[in-house]
Amino acid sequence: MKRVPLRNFLFVVMGVVGIIAILHSAAFAQAKFPTRPVTLWVGLPPGGSADVLARALAEGAEKSLGQKIIVVSKPGGGGTVATSLLMNEKPDGYTLLINTDSPTTRAPHITDLEYDPFKDVDNFMLIGEWKTVWTVKGDSPFKKWADLVAWAKKNQGQLTFGHCTASSFYFGMVAIAKKEGFTFKAVPYPCDAPTMTAVLGGHVMLGGGTAAPYRSHVLADNIRIILSRQKINYSVGHGQSTTFKDMHYDFDLPLLAMIIAPKGMPDNVRKTLEKAFMDGMKSDVFKKVAEDQELAAEPMTGKPFVDYLKKTSATYEELIKEMGMYKSEKKK
């Protein structure tokens, strides 16, 4: 039998040992995530709905993750600034972002951005959907949604509608008006608080916004909800709240709360974070905040979530083009 030179034998042994060491190191590195606190950016101003939600989710998820989750505000451009910054972060799971869906489904069609929402970042997880409402002043002659639609059809272009700029409420109203066959005058505001003030002051006939800020005014009968995307429990006994389903409005124009990550996270990191945030959404602190904010918590991850976002984005794109707001149209 031919003898193998000792030098060659040692070379083979060292090679095998080296491979084993590499595999062991990789497995060890995977098992060690996370070894330090995770930073959770919020793409909207501090103190707002997204910020409050992020802090509750972080608190609820920390026990499962085994590390602190530090919430940091990164406001600007309705969440587009934070998304642009996230694109340049390492995909190691230590930097994540909570945003609404606007920087993913609406803003890219309206203006040129530094990122592609489906290529440059990872749309990691859906947290849920904020319930949205269409409201009138408490003494408005419109007692139900059908009254308003009938009036708007007879008085084309005279219905004044207050809304957050480029919001899901605005595009929802555009879709509704198209289906029902009326036109209206849009009156944009920075967001919910000034829109409510405009409704209360009679400056607009109809206002759109997220449900939670309106609660105290509805319970005091100063404002009445006459249309909502979902059932609003607190409106029971304070006027009729017709839903999209009741009106057969089948267009899906939600306001989502979602987590975005840098592109390219390892599978083990993704699974660890996914479990931690899922556990966080089951915590009492998160459930309480979600209830207070009228957030329908509906977690979704992976391809189903990305497909849902793409479908939603396509719906918004069609509306934005019809309205002449598409970025290429505005340049002409």
pLDDT at 165: 81
**In this structure, what DSSP letter does residue 47 have?**
T
Length of the chain as a residue count: 332
Per DSSP (E only), the strands in the chain are 38-42, 69-73, 95-100, 121-130, 132-137, 159-164, 184-189, 206-210, 223-228, 242-243, 256-262, 295-301
Sign of the dihedral through C-alpha 268, 269, 271, 272: positive
What domains lie within the chain, and their CATH numbers?
38-130+255-330 (3.40.190.150), 132-228 (3.40.190.10)
Residues 57 and 292: their CA atoms lie apart, in Å, by 14
Q: Cα 202 to chain center, whole Å?
A: 30
Between helices 284-292 and 49-65, what is the axis angle to 10°? 170
Residue 299 CB burial class (10 angstroms; 0-12, 13-18, ≥19): middle
User: Could you give the count of Cα atoms lying within 13 Å of 182 in the half-sphere of its Cβ?
Assistant: 21
Q: Cβ(207)–Cβ(134) under 8 Å?
A: yes
Which residues in the chain show pLDDT less than 70?
A: 1-31, 240, 329-332
Mean pLDDT of the chain: 90
313 φ, ψ (degrees, to nearest 5): -60, -40
Q: Quick one: tokens of 128?
A: 């849920």
Give per-residue pLDDT as tens, 207-239. 999 999 999 999 999 999 999 999 998 988 887
| pLDDT score at 14 | 56
